């Protein structure tokens, strides 16, 4: 445990942010998984893909993830869904 007051405050702030970011990341994973499951089942994924991309963009805007990481994730998700939809 820190002895310096500013470090104690920083620890409290980091914990609050960690909990908030954890919820955002969890929702991201859920949206992505829903889209992939629908694509594998041969269902229409357009709306689910749009929702997943929206959440990824929001996470990048809030600083939960870096913008380049968000762009990479969106690109890979789009390719993965196209491949799954073609196979199903």
The CATH number given to 5-87 is: 1.20.58.110
Kindly list the domain boundaries of the chain, sorted by start residue.
5-87
Q: Note the pTM of the prediction, 2 decimals.
A: 0.85
HEC string for 57-77: HHHHHHCCCCHHHHHHHHHHH
Average pLDDT, the chain: 94
Question: Is the pLDDT confidence value at 1 over 80?
Answer: no
Q: Are 73 and 60 in contact (CB under 8 A)?
A: no
Residue 42 is given by DSSP the state: T
Where are any strands of DSSP class E within 38-85?
none
* pLDDT above 90: residue 33: yes
- Which helix (DSSP H) or strand (DSSP E) does residue 78 occupy? helix 67-87
């Amino acid at each position: 445990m820190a002895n310096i007051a500013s470090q104690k405050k920083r620890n409290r702030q980091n914990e609050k942010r960690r909990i908030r970011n954890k919820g955002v990341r969890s929702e991201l994973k859920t949206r992505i998984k829903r889209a992939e499951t629908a694509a594998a089942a041969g269902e229409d994924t357009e709306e689910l893909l749009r929702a997943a991309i929206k959440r990824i963009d929001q996470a990048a805007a809030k600083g939960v993830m870096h913008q380049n990481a968000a762009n990479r994730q969106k690109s890979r998700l789009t390719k993965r869904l196209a491949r799954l939809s073609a196979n199903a």
